[in-house]
């Protein structure tokens, strides 16, 4: 199936990070460290170790920590892992986590350097692209086939006994990577699971000057 246009992309972060983001935008790991910005971590440190040395083989180059990562769908396996309490040192659960959303087209219109992959970026077989036409190299049907929750396929898991689904997780973890940072002007929407979460976001952003649309989308959560 053809990719949806505009093509929505998703980044998860803790509600506690929203104030910092309101001041400096959404930063890559490298930029966070360089600027000394405090942030609440929700990531596997072992995976981040791999990402810190995984080279991006096309311009603007560098490694994965030089980019802000987005997925092409919500409700990621990482969100479930966080909610299950399986990330060392992370006490957050899914109701502490928001989806920051934008589109590929908005990133392009803002003139931000970006690349993308057709599989999870840490995988050795993942290919890197920068030409928008190559977005068609992603298997979009796996993102939108039935059954759906919140507009996206309910299932992420790979099923190795079925060729069609042998790389479903790796495909659905394809990444859109924005070099260095994403400004607030491009981050027009924050999605949450409940009204209670929405109110927490409103309180966090009060007096920051950042006024994204806040949507309640239970289907993007577990």
DSSP state letters, 95-141: GGEEEEEEEHHHHHHTT--EEEEEEETTSTT--EE-SGGGGGGS-TH
Give the catalytic positions in this structure: 51, 175
Helices (H), 36-193: 45-53, 77-83, 104-109, 141-144, 168-172
- 156-178 burial: b if 16+ Cβ within 10 Å, else e: beeeeeeeeeebbbbbbbbbbbb
- In this structure, the strands spanning 189-192 and 213-216 are parallel
């Amino acid at each position: 199936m053809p990719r949806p246009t505009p093509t929505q992309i998703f980044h998860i972060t803790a509600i506690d990070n929203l104030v910092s983001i309101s001041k400096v935008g959404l930063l890559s790991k490298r930029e966070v460290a360089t600027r000394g910005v405090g942030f609440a971590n929700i990531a596997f440190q072992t995976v981040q170790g791999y990402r810190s040395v995984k080279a991006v083989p096309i311009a603007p180059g560098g490694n994965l920590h030089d980019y802000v990562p987005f997925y092409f769908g919500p409700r990621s396996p990482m969100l479930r892992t966080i909610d299950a309490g399986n990330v060392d040192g992370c006490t957050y659960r899914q109701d502490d986590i928001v989806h920051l959303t934008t589109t590929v087209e908005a990133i392009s219109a803002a003139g931000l350097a970006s690349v993308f992959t057709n599989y999870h970026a840490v995988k050795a077989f993942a290919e890197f692209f920068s030409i928008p036409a190559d977005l068609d190299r992603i298997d979009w049907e796996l993102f939108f086939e039935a059954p759906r929750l919140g507009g996206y396929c309910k299932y992420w898991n790979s099923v190795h006994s079925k060729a069609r689904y042998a790389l479903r997780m790796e495909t659905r973890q394809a990444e859109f990577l924005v070099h260095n940072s994403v400004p607030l002007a491009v981050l027009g929407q924050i999605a949450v699971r409940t009204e209670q979460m929405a109110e927490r976001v409103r309180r966090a952003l009060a007096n920051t000057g950042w006024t994204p649309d806040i949507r309640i989308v239970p289907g993007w959560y577990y």
